[in-house]
Amino acid sequence: MILVTGISGGLGSLIFHGLSGEEGLDVAGGTRSGDGVTARRIDFDDPASLAEGFRGVDVLVFVSAGYAEDDVVLARHGAVVNAAEAAGVRHVVYTSLAGSGSLMSIALPHRWTEARLADASFDVTILRNGLYAELPVGLAAAGAASAADTGVFAAAFGAGRMSVVAKQDLADVAVRVAAEIQHDLAGGRRGRHAGRTYELEGVEAIGGQDIADALSDALDRRVDYQPMSLSTARTALTGLGLEPYQTAHTISLFSNLNAGYLQAGDTDLTALLRAEPRRVRDLLVEAIPASSPSVAGSI
């Protein structure tokens, strides 16, 4: 059996539905509010729930549990690894962070988890996911109303560009890898992806001017990119009601982007996808008309 954690989230949901559509697989989903029928109860903050939740699982697709301070994430991930070992899980596929993001503040829990998994008794495959294309897409949508009025898209990108990848593409890779591992195990073979770390960097790099150009096409007016300082961005973020760690992580991303560290080199994405990667520029243009005209401003 394959179990996918976090199926109430964006990536986990896509992976679960993709695996559920594959023939010959027994697939279960896990979520904090699982009822034991439509989904297993997998609550990373309640380690006692994991023992029953991981029962009978051969392949665990462990979708990382962010959205918390680092100490909370480390405790969650440590509990998952401990419970997977105790339950006799044979292979864990973990969704980590791509190498280009290693200097970002969100990288620490991922690298810690990779090290903990390397010491575990089961086989491991690491999927180092690139930054989601949904980030620049969301910024383009949020900035559309303001750009339509002012002809300016302002963001704290500096002159940097970041390699991004559609979340669906990352889910498609996870589906392929997990399915192949399960088929191998069912055939009495060690999973072909055992011990592998895949860098799933995006093949397209997006900067502030790229978003401005997409806005120009969608809005049928000239839009220019205006770099925003990190201090201005921090002030704007602070006014959005985010948790302090969310503001800190976002500024860390912008800081890395400004320094030019988020543009990737080699990637395993194209070798593992069954189709060409989704074009980020198409996603940008498609998202802009759907944005609410009442939403203005950008970060």
**Residue-level pLDDT at 67:** 84
Tell me the pLDDT tens digit for each residue of 29-41.
999 988 878 899 9
**Residue-level pLDDT at 289:** 66
**Token pair for residue 8?**
């109430």
- Sheet with 131-132, side-by-side order of all strands: 131-132, 161-165, 204-207
pLDDT band for position 286 (cuts 50, 70, 90): confident
Q: How many Cβ atoms are within 10 Å of 139's Cβ, its own excluded? A: 20
Tell me the pLDDT tens digit for each residue of 232-243.
999 999 888 999
Task: Compute the half-sphere exposure of residue 244: CA atoms within 13 Å on the CB side of its CA.
Answer: 2
**Token pair for residue 87?**
């339950």
Whether 56 shows a pLDDT value over 50: the answer reads: yes
Whether 293 shows a pLDDT value over 90: the answer reads: no
Please report, rounded to a whole number, the percentage of residues in the chain having pLDDT higher than 90.
84
Q: Are 71 and 61 in contact (CB under 8 A)?
A: no
In order of their start, the domains of the chain are 2-130+167-200 (3.40.50.720), 134-163+202-264+276-287 (3.90.25.10)
Strands 204-207 and 161-165: antiparallel
**Token pair for residue 206?**
């997006």
**Residue-level pLDDT at 65:** 86
Task: Compute the half-sphere exposure of residue 260: CA atoms within 13 Å on the CB side of its CA.
Answer: 1
Whether 299 shows a pLDDT value over 90: the answer reads: no
Tell me the pLDDT tens digit for each residue of 127-176.
999 999 999 999 998 889 999 999 999 999 999 999 999 999 999 999 99
Whether 194 shows a pLDDT value over 60: the answer reads: yes
Q: 198 - beta bridge partners?
A: 127
pLDDT band for position 297 (cuts 50, 70, 90): very low
Q: Compute the distance between CA of residue 59 and CA of residue 179 in angstroms, rounded to an integer.
A: 9
Tell me the pLDDT tens digit for each residue of 9-23.
999 999 999 999 999
Whether 296 shows a pLDDT value over 80: the answer reads: no
Per the prediction, the chain carries an average pLDDT of 93
**Residue-level pLDDT at 34:** 87
